[in-house]
Amino acid sequence: MFDTVCSSGLLRDWPEDAPLDAVLDRGEDCPEDCPDLPPLEEVAVETAEERAARQWRGREEWLRFGVERTYGNTEPSALLGMELDVDADSPGSLSDAELIDAVVGFDRVAAWAQARRTEVLAEFARRRPGDDNTMVAVDKPCGLGRFAPDEVGLALRKSRMTAKAELGRAVQLTQVLPEALAVWKAGRLDERRVAAICDGVHYLPVDKARAVQARVLDRAPEQTLAQVKAAVKRAVAQVDPEGVFARHRAAHRERRVVLNPEEEGMASLWASMSAADALACSGR
């Protein structure tokens, strides 16, 4: 992935049998048997554009298991991020296809970094056990320490509730949905699709949450966010039909109509009701 030639190009034209001291110090102390070396000002320096073009040409010729190597099929890592940083240093020198491939690569590296961050957050939560039985504004048992969100929120300049939600999701992914975390870490899912899976199974017990994950995870990398949400909703209905009905009944009891005053003598009317009632109202 990285060329063995010095990135600056200064060593490219130097004789292979030149003593190391001559390479490092070309002053008057060079031994007499040191071969003639080209003057420093005559050595061609490879520009960033030339380096990027050379590496792209090499990548197009490089095959891995019979498949052309691209950023889209390369496992994301810190090394891939470094390579992307070099290759995309001058976007104007890249072709349209190379630009798209670089965008895909950056997305994969970003997903990998976010998944790694989630693993670190989960480890921090593990080190802060406590008696706080609320997680992300709902009554649900959680081993998260009472002040862990404050520590994370202070470091990240985020509110306590935001930090608490991130810690809760990290614990959920590592303890309940590790397969989804692995796919995210491989760069095949982005944060929003992972969040859609997590949110969809948040109220389910562990066994049913894992059953929903098993139904949707294989196709999720090829689906849009809306498709993932729809797939999760269908899977939840199949795995936990009684729970779906119970949650609908609970939500139905919370239906309401709200009148909000607006500017210029206007007002807005907002209602929360069942889907059937909403469709009936919209049809009138």
Could you please report the per-residue DSSP string of 35-69? PP---GGGSPPPPHHHHHHHHHHHHHH-EETTEE-
166 close to 122: Cβ distance less than 8 angstroms: no
How far separated are the first and last CA of the chain, in Å rounded?
64
**Model confidence pLDDT, tens digit, residues 233-276:** 999 999 999 999 999 899 989 999 999 999 999 999 999 999 88
Amino acid identity of residue 269, one-letter, is L
Name 57's Cβ contacts closer than 8 Å, sequence gap at least 6.
Answer: none
What confidence tier does 283 reach under pLDDT thresholds 50, 70, 90? confident
**Model confidence pLDDT, tens digit, residues 197-217:** 999 999 999 999 999 999 999
Q: Taking all residues of the chain, what is their mean pLDDT, rounded to a whole number?
A: 80
Best CA proximity match to 184, nearest among 176, 164, 216, 192: 192
**Model confidence pLDDT, tens digit, residues 64-89:** 445 577 888 888 888 889 999 998 99
Among the ranges given (38-52, 59-73, 168-182, 218-232), the one the predictor scored with the smallest mean pLDDT: 38-52
What confidence tier does 63 reach under pLDDT thresholds 50, 70, 90? very low
- In the DSSP assignment, the letter for residue 91 is G
Assign 267 to helix, strand or coil: strand
Q: What are phi and psi of 258, to 5 degrees?
A: -125, 130
What confidence tier does 48 reach under pLDDT thresholds 50, 70, 90? low
Share of the chain above pLDDT 90, in %: 58
71 close to 105: Cβ distance less than 8 angstroms: yes
**Model confidence pLDDT, tens digit, residues 157-183:** 999 999 999 999 999 999 999 999 999
**Model confidence pLDDT, tens digit, residues 124-140:** 999 888 644 444 444 44
Rounded Cα–Cα distance for residues 71 and 138 (Å): 41
With tokens 């303890």, the residue in question is 175
Separation in Å, CA 158 to CA 129, 141, 149, 161, 166: 21, 23, 9, 8, 10
Could you please report the per-residue DSSP string of 207-238? HHHHHHHHHHTTTGGGS-HHHHHHHHHHHHHH
Best CA proximity match to 174, nearest among 146, 194, 196: 194
Choice between 106 and 45, residue whose per-residue pLDDT is larger: 106
Assign 274 to helix, strand or coil: coil
Amino acid identity of residue 2, one-letter, is F
Region class of 73: left (phi > 0), else alpha (psi between -120 and 50), else beta: alpha
175: tokens are: 């303890």
Separation in Å, CA 123 to CA 158, 164, 197: 19, 14, 21
203 close to 233: Cβ distance less than 8 angstroms: no
116 close to 122: Cβ distance less than 8 angstroms: no
